[in-house]
Amino acid sequence: MKKRGDSAISPTREEDYPQWYQQVIKASGLAERSAVRGCMVIRPWGYALWENITSALDAMFKATGIQNAYFPLFIPLSFLEKEAEHVEGFAKECAVVTHHRLEKGPDGDLVPAGRLQEPLVVRPTSETIIGDSFSRWISSYRDLPVLINQWANVVRWELRTRIFLRTSEFLWQEGHTAHATSGEALERTLLMLDIYARLAEQYLALPVIKGRKTASERFPGAVDTFSIEAMMQDRKALQAGTSHFLGQNFARASGIKFQNAEEKEEYAWTTSWGASTRMIGALIMTHGDDDGIILPPRVASAHVVLLPIYRSAQDKSAVMTYTESLARELKEIRYHETLLRVQVDDRDTGGARNWDWIKKGIPLRVEIGPRDIAQNAVYLGRRDKGNTDKISIKRDAFVAKLPQLLDEVQKNLYERALTYRNAHTITLDDRDGFYSLFTPNNADHPEIHGGFALSHWCGSSACEVKLKEELGVTIRCIPLENPSENGACICCGQPSKERVVFAKAY
RNA sequence: CGGGAAGUGGCUCAGCCUGGUAGAGCACAGCGUUCGGGACGCUGGGGUCGUCGGUUCAAAUCCGACCUUCCCGACCA
């Protein structure tokens, strides 16, 4: 027997967190790097997870009156030039299409030909092209609100990519709405933020902080940006969804005007909001352990795998019959809004088979052998427990308890994550303590350190810049549910009325 | 884009300093023995050593350029 380490993934989180992240993804079969710079291939196990996330989100959107639509991948360059701050923020890091044909070159290679009169930008986000449609769809207050979402891919030519967290191309949804009043638009902005928080907490088992971004972290062209922020196991913050109140800035840029009930012409008030495949990165880094990823049952690519165990051909036929009948029975069981997703793995690959599923993060593993059949039972392992922590349970009881069992796993994951976040969220008022929290002991190979610091901030961007330069720490958000409290800025000591969340971030 | 490291069968890597046309472990296929177990034995398939160019009788090995990946930083809508 080949000896392996105590854990399936090497290095462990403690040893090298960034490397652990890469290895966990590789071992899980969620995704892999592609031949194209900075772009990933999402494999079936990862795409199933994404589909479960999207269908949950999509249902929540539609429940609030959102309709899906689709807009072009290409945006005329001039569109991006319409909103001044938007130009500032998006001028860089875009893929640009300049030609529309390939011709055979002198060496037999293909060379671009047919130069476009106006270059097309591969959408980094679609405010401008959707705004163009909105400007034609809207002419009266009776046309409002317009509530649109699109599921799409976008391209941002990031300099440093990381699978799921920041890839050149990624999948997301972007919602765009237009309203007759500022108040209604703001309400929509916050409603969508709530939906993201609900998705994170109830489906992904990620505790998040809802908050407002500071001016320097705001979406270019937005009046106000809100986000949900989660803590990863290296104690860095990850923004898992954003919702923007755009005021009338984009309406003005795209000419989205309407006549109000008083017959006066007005610009519409717009919002935009998005969540992406990055959420999968958040899920991996929040729940993963040194044996791989752990999928929360509400979105898991599959809920349970049946692992038949047999020796003789005779055993095999009995075990397979039992396994298949159990699989059929399980597939009928409802779990929240779906049916149970059941896998049967009858490969004869010894113990490696069990480890494969551990690394894939499936919530429940069920072994079925002659011994179990004799007792009309199954042998059950939970991914949120140790890999040898398995129990025998009567088949009937197992079937009856399954949804409840999955909910226990779901709850356990959420509570573990919340406990971790709370343990590393520190209320800090002294500057030295703040600096030591965010300074690693080994600068060349930083250990896991830091956390969320709840500290006062005077409101000046000078202090933000200073802390970012000296510590690499930024204000992740100003929590929405924030008690008013008098204090002194952690950086400059000027008076402050509330605490904000400081952290290192992805 | 700046600093650092690296690119050799699917994966992890050795070989490179001291040039002579490829190795290991894992994975994979077949057979046998096992088996509630990340099993063992035997046999076998698979790589023109990131790309292009240079030096040389000869290059994975030396030189140059480029590409890509990873880490840190800047950037991150």
pLDDT, tens digit only, all 506 positions of chain A: 233 557 888 888 988 899 999 999 999 999 998 888 889 999 999 999 999 999 999 999 999 999 999 999 999 999 988 877 777 776 678 888 999 988 887 766 778 889 999 999 999 999 999 999 999 999 999 999 999 999 999 999 888 899 999 999 999 999 999 999 999 999 999 999 999 999 999 999 999 999 999 999 999 899 999 999 999 999 999 999 999 999 999 999 999 999 999 999 999 999 999 999 999 999 999 999 999 999 999 999 999 999 999 888 788 889 999 999 999 999 999 999 999 999 999 988 888 999 999 999 999 999 999 999 999 999 999 999 988 899 999 999 999 999 999 999 999 999 999 999 999 999 999 999 999 999 988 877 788 999 999 999 999 999 999 999 999 999 999 999 999 999 999 999 999 999 999 999 99
Task: Tell me where in chain A the CATH 3.30.110.30 domain(s) lie.
Answer: 425-503
Measure A480 CA to B42 C1' (Å): 68
Measure A44 CA to B36 C1' (Å): 29
Its ipTM equals 0.90
What's the pLDDT score for residue A441?
Answer: 85
What's the pLDDT score for residue A91?
Answer: 64
What's the pLDDT score for residue A192?
Answer: 98
Task: Tell me where in chain A the CATH 3.40.50.800 domain(s) lie.
Answer: 304-421
* Distance, CA of A326 to CA of A67 (rounded, Å): 40
What's the pLDDT score for residue A5?
Answer: 58
Q: Does residue A371 reach within 7 angstroms of strand B, measured from its CB? A: yes
Measure A200 CA to B63 C1' (Å): 55
Query: Which residues contact residue A178 at a Cβ distance below 8 angstroms, ignoring those fewer than 6 apart?
Result: A134, A138, A144, A145, A146, A185, A251, A256, A268, A269, A270
| CATH homologous superfamily, domain A304-421 | Anticodon-binding domain (3.40.50.800)
DSSP A219: P
What is the separation, in whole angstroms, between the first and last Cα of chain A? 41
Find and list the nucleotides of strand B having atoms within 7 Å of a protein beta carbon: 1-2, 11, 26-28, 34-40, 67-77
What's the pLDDT score for residue A3?
Answer: 36
What's the pLDDT score for residue A284?
Answer: 96
What's the pLDDT score for residue A180?
Answer: 98
What's the pLDDT score for residue A2?
Answer: 33
Q: Does residue A416 reach within 7 angstroms of strand B, measured from its CB? A: no
What's the pLDDT score for residue A1?
Answer: 28
Per DSSP bridges, beta strands A40-42 and A31-33 are: antiparallel
Q: Does residue A275 reach within 7 angstroms of strand B, measured from its CB? A: no
Q: Does residue A352 reach within 7 angstroms of strand B, measured from its CB? A: yes
Q: Does residue A3 reach within 7 angstroms of strand B, measured from its CB? A: no
Q: Does residue A485 reach within 7 angstroms of strand B, measured from its CB? A: no
SS3 assignment for A440-504:
CCCCCCCCCCCCEEEEECCCCHHHHHHHHHHHCCEEEEEECCCCCCCEECCCCCCEECCEEEEEC
Contact A346, A323 (CB under 8 A): yes
CATH number of A17-287: 3.30.930.10
Q: Does residue A82 reach within 7 angstroms of strand B, measured from its CB? A: no
Measure A86 CA to B24 C1' (Å): 55
CATH class label, A425-503: alpha beta
- Helices and strands (H and E) in chain A: how many: 14, 27
Residue A345: CB atoms within 10 Å? 16
Task: Tell me where in chain A the CATH 3.30.930.10 domain(s) lie.
Answer: 17-287
Q: Does residue A89 reach within 7 angstroms of strand B, measured from its CB? A: yes
Q: Does residue A166 reach within 7 angstroms of strand B, measured from its CB? A: yes
What's the pLDDT score for residue A103?
Answer: 84
Q: Does residue A320 reach within 7 angstroms of strand B, measured from its CB? A: no
